[in-house]
Amino acid sequence: MPDVNKAIEYARANKEKFLTDLQEFSAIPSVSTLDENKPDMQRAAEWVANQLRSIKMNNVQIMPTAGHPVVYGEWLGAGKNAPTIMIYGHYDVQPVDPIELWTSDPFNAVVRGDYLFGRGTSDMKGQVVASLKAVESIVSTGEAKVNIKWLIEGEEEIGSMHLDEFIIKNKELLACDFCLNPDAGMMGADKPTITTGLRGLAYFELKVFGPSKDLHSGLFGGTVHNPAQALIELVAGMHDKNGKITLPGFYDKVRKLSKKEREDFKRLPVTDKQLKEITGVPALWGEPQFIPAERVGARPTLEVNGLLSGFTGQGAKTVLPAYAMAKISCRLVPDQTPEQTEKQLRAYLKKNAPKTIKWELTLLNSSGAALVDSDSAGVQALAKAFETVWGKKPYFKREGGSIGSVVLLQKYVGADSLLTGFGLPDDNIHSPDEHLHLPTWYKGIEAFVHFFNNF
């Protein structure tokens, strides 16, 4: 009997134990944002470290950061010619408020029907345990074909605040061929999903200054350029009549979608009707030559995230404001960069801002776009594993947002992230009664066993 069958057999035989381990992990209230849970953060890190040791990982360390520690472990026994895969996860969870809306204790995970209810069961202690148990199944019945590293952080729910420092400091330790990140979930219990792309971000604050103080709009209206008007004219001009972004050169580097990529997008099980229901808008909007999934996954945007000027309270105040502000952000796709985007925005403003006002632009936040090659060994191995377990080809999806760890690992370690996981869209993550669909979770463990075997 080949090793993979033994490993699958092990996984099936140990379902109860796997669940008990997940319940034990979920019982630790590792809420990263609360000071009172600091000791629990340490306990959760130790729990992970002990698991890693129990599945024959070497060099297991709880590594301090300026915030919560990172758990590291490795098994490099497959040798230099085998690929090295890093598994990313996080052991921290969201707060449980409003606690009164929970049916049962969030930190005493219980099974009801097909589901395990408890904080972190889906996001993402369940996913971390699925990864651990897949590797446990392999190493308990044979030997892994690939080298494995683990990076399990404790600050994902608070924005991975210290992960950048940690990764920069430990570049060599973290060196790998690619990263498996099971924090992205799937589109439905029968819809195994691989997220191959994330958009980047360039987030700006644009300030427009007019008179030195707020003026009476009656006494000065008509002689002084209203900075709120100047601002909205500038920002409105950043799209043309057809919704195209007018920053000079904005689309120059945007990759054209291949026929295959467009087919993957088209296959995704998302309808316009669903999108309208989720968002509550009367009609969808966007570039008509692309379907919504393409617009979100593969097309750049320029959004107004915030506007502030003058009088915004109840009633009427006839002020001609001294100042107006817009928060503007661009979602970027390969091969756009935040640096280029800032240049393009500055060029636009220099060309279009009138002499009657002053403006100031600040780049507040930025990250590059990420895209994994669908033909890469990792994606192929994962797709094949999903086909083996679910009997169907997975969905290839791109997310419109960005994920801190993905950007950092790409930037400092040069490693692409394969985003996947076994959480479902209705798992109530970040909400009361978070739960995990256990049949899908068990399938997931088997899928990861196959994945590691597919190299």
Residues in 184-203 at the binding interface with a copy of itself, rule: CB under 8 A: 199, 201, 203
Measured distance CA(128)–CA(120) in Å, rounded:
10
Three-state SS sequence of 224-293: ECCHHHHHHHHHHCCECCCCCECCCCCCCCCCCCCHHHHHHHHHCCCCHHHHHHHHCCCCCCCCCCCCHH
Strand partners, 360: 207
Question: How many residues sit close enough to a copy of itself to count as binding (CB under 8 A)?
Answer: 76
Q: Which is nearer to a copy of itself, 169 or 255 (CB)?
A: 255
Bridge-based pairing of strands 416-419 and 178-181 is parallel
Q: Among residues 30, 32, 301, 420, which is the contact residue for a copy of itself, using CB under 8 A?
A: 301
Site membership for a copy of itself, residue 271 (CB under 8 A): no
Tell me: does residue 281 bind a copy of itself (CB under 8 A). yes
Q: Which is nearer to a copy of itself, 216 or 393 (CB)?
A: 216
When binding is defined by CB under 8 A, the residue of 126, 292, 421, 444 that contacts a copy of itself is: 292
Contact status: 222 vs a copy of itself (CB under 8 A): yes
Q: Binding to a copy of itself by residue 305, rule CB under 8 A?
A: yes
Is 361 a binding residue for a copy of itself by CB under 8 A? The answer is no
> How far apart are CB 420 and a copy of itself at their closest, in Å?
17
| Closer by beta carbon to a copy of itself, 354 or else 414 | 354
> By CB under 8 A, which span of 185-193, 248-256, 344-352, 358-366 interacts with a copy of itself?
358-366
- Nearest distance from residue 369's CB to a copy of itself, in Å? 11
Smallest separation (angstroms) from a copy of itself to the CB of 315: 6
Stretches 44-52, 59-67, 284-292, 376-384: which one binds a copy of itself (CB under 8 A)? 284-292
Place of tokens 């330790």: 173
220 or 412: whose CB is closer to a copy of itself?
220
Q: Cα–Cα distance between 322 and 211 in angstroms, integer?
A: 5
Distance between CA atoms of 372 and 385, rounded to whole angstroms?
17
Nearer to a copy of itself, 265 or 390 (CB): 265
Structure tokens at 369: 């776009």
DSSP secondary structure string for all residues of 75-114: E-TT-TTS-EEEEEEE--B----SGGG-SS-TTS-EEETT
Which residue stretches of 86-226 are H helix? 125-139, 163-169, 217-220
Residues within window 425-454 making contact with a copy of itself, judged by CB under 8 A: none
Sheet holding 200-209: strands in order across? 323-332, 200-209, 358-367
| Nearest partner of 197 among 336, 414, 371, 330, judged by Cα | 371
User: Binding a copy of itself by CB under 8 A: which of 31, 324, 371, 379?
Assistant: 324
Q: Taking a C-beta distance cutoff of 8 angstroms, is the pair 452, 146 a contact?
A: yes
Q: Three-state SS for 166?
A: helix
d(CA 345, CA 249): 10
Query: Cβ(179)–Cβ(41) under 8 Å?
Result: no
Calculate the alpha carbon distances from 396 to 188, 194, 269, 401 in Å. Answer: 13, 5, 11, 16
Q: Does 286 bind a copy of itself (CB under 8 A)?
A: yes
Q: 81 or 212: whose CB is closer to a copy of itself?
A: 212
321 binds a copy of itself (CB under 8 A): yes
Q: Which stretch binds a copy of itself (CB under 8 A): 99-107, 226-234, 260-268, 432-440?
A: 226-234
Residue 357 or 385 having the CB closest to a copy of itself? 357
Does 215 help bind a copy of itself (rule: CB under 8 A)? yes
Kindly tell me which residue out of 283, 288, 375, 391 binds a copy of itself, with binding defined by CB under 8 A: 283
Q: How near is the Cβ of 324 to a copy of itself at its closest, in Å?
A: 6
Question: Among 308, 334, 337, 361, which residue interacts with a copy of itself (rule: CB under 8 A)?
Answer: 308
Q: Are strands 115-117 and 193-198 parallel, antiparallel or unpaired?
A: unpaired
The answer to the question of residue 303 lying near a copy of itself (CB under 8 A) is yes
Nearer to a copy of itself, 320 or 445 (CB): 320
Minimum distance from residue 309 beta carbon to a copy of itself (Å): 4
Q: Is 222 left (phi over 0), alpha (psi -120 to 50) or beta?
A: left
Question: Which residues ranging from 325 to 344 are in contact with a copy of itself (CB under 8 A)?
Answer: 325, 327, 329, 331
